[in-house]
Structure 1
Amino acid sequence: MTLFSVLSLSLLVFLSLPSPSLSEPEICNSEDKIVLLKIKAALNNPYHLASWNPETNCCDWYSVECDEITSRIISLTIFGGNISGQIPAAVGDLPYLQTLVFRKLTNLTGSIPSAITKLKHLRTITLSWTNLSGPVPSFFTELKNLTFLDLSFNDLTGSIPPELAQLTNLAAIHLDRNKLTGTIPESFGTFTGSVPDLYLSHNQLTGPVPKSLGNLDFTRLDLSRNQLSGDLSFIFGSNKTMQIVDFSRNMFEFDLSNVVFPASLISLDLNHNKSLWESACGLCGPIPTGGKLQSFDLTSYFHNRCLCGAPLPAC
């Protein structure tokens, strides 16, 4: 056989082999892909979601994550894009979703859709730094697996729903930086399971803080910049493990004469109330020991000329 014949035969065999596919095999669930495309359309097909091409694998799309085993969408995180409109009701049609984030979208408006309640696997909700309005929905209590709820930096109004205390797995609640009114619900002192970090600052809350909150051991508690009143001394205690406490810029009055601060306390801010530890105060007597008040610098006690004891001169 001549060399030409050998080369011709080899070429013939190569051409007869099946050619490899030039397209990537589909991985993501087809139903999830349809839902994502509905979400994109409802948001007016923003450039931020340009990778959401129906001809490609949706598990590779920007802002989404698939489960490695089931290939179902488990995370939808839309962050910081030039996006206008409302949260599409179609988000409720991603049944395996565990994380839902719409964050830093200043042109996102409207209320929080009830379709979210269909997401029974949801663990994390972050709807923050938007122009969402309307009330904080009580329907979040239907999401029993929820561990993190962040609705901060919005235009939410109305009162805080007491039903939120029924969520037993919450590690943190962020309702700060809204326009919420009314009082802190009594039920917020009845959280069972884990006690969530509670952030309610920069609202328009009024009235005294429920005594029931004194029964819980909050690690982080921020009630600053409201119009809350009364004596909050009952929050503290030597047996607690609280670390960061901010009650500043309210109308609180404190009787700290018999208070023992927990040794775990890292940060305590009581400034701009009716009775304070900070520079706007006029307190007298020894600075309590047993916690970390001695670790604050001298400026923390500035203008409190009647105070004494470490870190100030001895009494």
Structure 2
Amino acid sequence: MSSSPSTFLLIFFLFFTISFAELCHPNDKKALLNIKKAFNNPYILTSWKPEEDCCTWYCVECDRNSHRIVSLTIFADTRLSGQIPPFVGDLPYLENLMFHKLPNLTGPIQPAIAKLHNLKYLDLSWNTLTGSIPNFLSSLTNLELLDLSFNRLTGSIPSSLANLQRLGTLHLDRNKLTGPIPDSFGNFKGKIPYLYLSHNQLSGKIPTSFERVDFNVIDLSRNRLEGDGSVIFGGKKTTEIVDLSRNLLEFDMSKVVLPRSLTWLDLNHNKIFGKIPVMAVNLQLQLLNVSYNKLCGRIPVGGKLQSFDVYSYSNNKCLCGKPLGKCK
């Protein structure tokens, strides 16, 4: 007796359904369910049901071929609380780990993260993490982005982070970090076009090795850095944004060679002296602030320098010319 077409379709449908339900690797599913339990089953993870394929769960992404978990992104939930579960280390194929804007996520950076050697993007920003930045992060050699900003991290910046050869963006801003910027940061084996260290309590001098680094964006504002900030600049560099504001930097602005690519320059509240370089008239500046320094002389005429208001130049030793008063 031959099977009818409807019977065949039913068998095929059941086979497809069972196969699809088993796409999720059991080890990955176990790790995710342990993470959910460690977070006390938060509402944001309601879709994480044991009877369903974990590749369909919210905040989770699977590789299309291997069906292993490659992305875990949990963000913007005020109700989720606790520490980063150690079970995140049981997702060996993870490339993207994001715990972002979870104000009740506390405790240190979980050591089990060191097991995730395939990680490319690690974003633990806008939480309430405490403790120091661990050295083990330097073992994540595939990292392209590391964002630990807007936490309560303390201690010094590990010099070992410079060993991350593929790192393109480093956010350590808005923490309570102390000590100097590591000299090794001027010797990154990879290019670091985006470096954000602002709003900390960093002290000491900007490493002279920064002369060799071509940043796209560098923000060292609101720290306690001293000495020469001119090492950031250079005629052959392609830097677009420099923010060194609200530090204790002291150098001769007259001798600075500004990159032609510069569009944003904020140096306010330092001890910078000398004159504004004439070459500044050639820049396509969108923002300029050199207020509260010790600059002197005539503001060069031309370009966009006269388009900024008086507050961009105010409270210097003896700057003059538009938009300030006439030079004597």
In structure 2, the partner of 1:50 is 46
In structure 2, the partner of 1:298 is 309
How many angstroms apart in 2 are the aligned matches of 1:304 and 1:298? 14
Partner amino acid, structure 2, of 1:171 = G
Partner amino acid, structure 2, of 1:294 = L
How many angstroms apart in 2 are the aligned matches of 1:258 and 1:13? 88
* Structure 1 SS opposite 2:124: strand
- Structure 1 residue 14: Cα displacement: 8.3
- The one of 73, 79, 87 equivalent to 1:77 is 73
- Structure 1 residue 293: Cα displacement: 6.4
Q: Which ranges of structure 1 fall in alignment gaps of 5 or more residues?
A: 1-11
Change (3 A) 1:285 1:59: same
- The one of 110, 113, 117 equivalent to 2:107 is 110
Residue pairs, 1:127-276, within 5 angstroms: 127-275=124-272
* Structure 1 SS opposite 2:37: helix
How many angstroms apart in 2 are the aligned matches of 1:178 and 1:37? 31
In structure 1, the partner of 2:32 is 36
TM-score by length of 1: 0.88
Change (3 A) 1:168 1:296: farther
- Structure 1 residue 269: Cα displacement: 0.4
Q: 1:260–1:289: 8 Å Cα contact kept in structure 2?
A: no
Of structures 1 and 2, the larger Rg is shown by 1
Residue pairs, 1:88-127, within 5 angstroms: 88-127=85-124
Q: Percent identity?
A: 55
Number of paired residues? 303
| CA-based RMSD | 2.5
Partner amino acid, structure 2, of 1:60 = T
How many angstroms apart in 2 are the aligned matches of 1:252 and 1:180? 19
TM-score by length of 2: 0.85
**CA deviation string 1:112-141 (max 9, x = no partner):** 111111111110000011111110011111
**CA deviation string 1:43-80 (max 9, x = no partner):** 11111100000111111100000001111100000101
How many angstroms apart in 1 are the aligned matches of 2:4 and 2:138? 66
* Structure 2 SS opposite 1:139: helix
The question of 1:67 aligning with 2:79 is answered: no
Q: Which ranges of structure 2 fall in alignment gaps of 5 or more residues?
A: 274-288
Instruction: Identify which range, 44-53 or 273-282, moves more after superposition.
Output: 273-282
Change (3 A) 1:314 1:147: farther
Partner amino acid, structure 2, of 1:123 = K
How many angstroms apart in 2 are the aligned matches of 1:90 and 1:267? 43
